[in-house]
Structure 1
């Protein structure tokens, strides 16, 4: 869960984005100062670095999930080796097992507020 100070930096970044102003540490700090919000000095720096060269629209519409960078194309080969095929299959199985585990955890009954 985010702290109040982190949320203040997020809101400042969103204000800057909405006004089409570059999201820099100084701009974030200026908004925080104007709002009379005190945060540790490192937070505006971290947020500015984190959001540098990012498409804020994509971040907003991704629901918080940041896309991984595109994989670099592997060296071209005429035929994939059988070892690579097996590894891909193993990776796919792992991902499916993890997905099932997460779904099971989500379905787990944690009890209700009024259960007696």
Structure 2
């Protein structure tokens, strides 16, 4: 089952790389040509999930690790130093919460 999922995903990536429309028929034909047939229902579900989305852009965003960059860039552009000063304070609060768990009088392996 996992190989069928991967085959369908790879077929969708091949279609996106070639600039072709990702459709269930094309996914099925590519997987059959690769000798790893996929049930048409799974190809249809994958094609509908990717419908209207730019697969290359999704891969670029994931691969670059810039998932939080747009959110971080907006406060920096608007607030400047004030936004930069708030970031360390938030991190410090999170660390304090983690340390407070140790004050309960018992440990994980006691």
State the alpha-carbon separation in 2 of the partners of residues 23 and 42 from structure 1: 14
Query: Residue 19 of structure 2 corresponds to which residue in structure 1?
Result: 20
State the alpha-carbon separation in 2 of the partners of residues 16 and 6 from structure 1: 16
Q: More helix by proportion, 1 or 2?
A: 2
Distance apart, 1:36 and its partner CA = 1.2
SS at match of 2:62: coil
1:50-65 to 2 correspondences below 5 Å? 50-63=49-62
State the alpha-carbon separation in 2 of the partners of residues 23 and 11 from structure 1: 11
For structure 1, the 5+ residue unaligned runs are 68-95, 105-116
**Aligned-residue CA RMSD (Å):** 3.0
State the alpha-carbon separation in 2 of the partners of residues 39 and 54 from structure 1: 22
Instruction: Choose 1 or 2 for highest CA Rg.
Output: 2
Paired residues, what number? 70
Query: Residue 37 of structure 1 corresponds to which residue in structure 2?
Result: 36
For structure 2, the 5+ residue unaligned runs are 68-89, 99-110
TM-score, scaled relative to structure 1 = 0.51
TM-score, scaled relative to structure 2 = 0.53
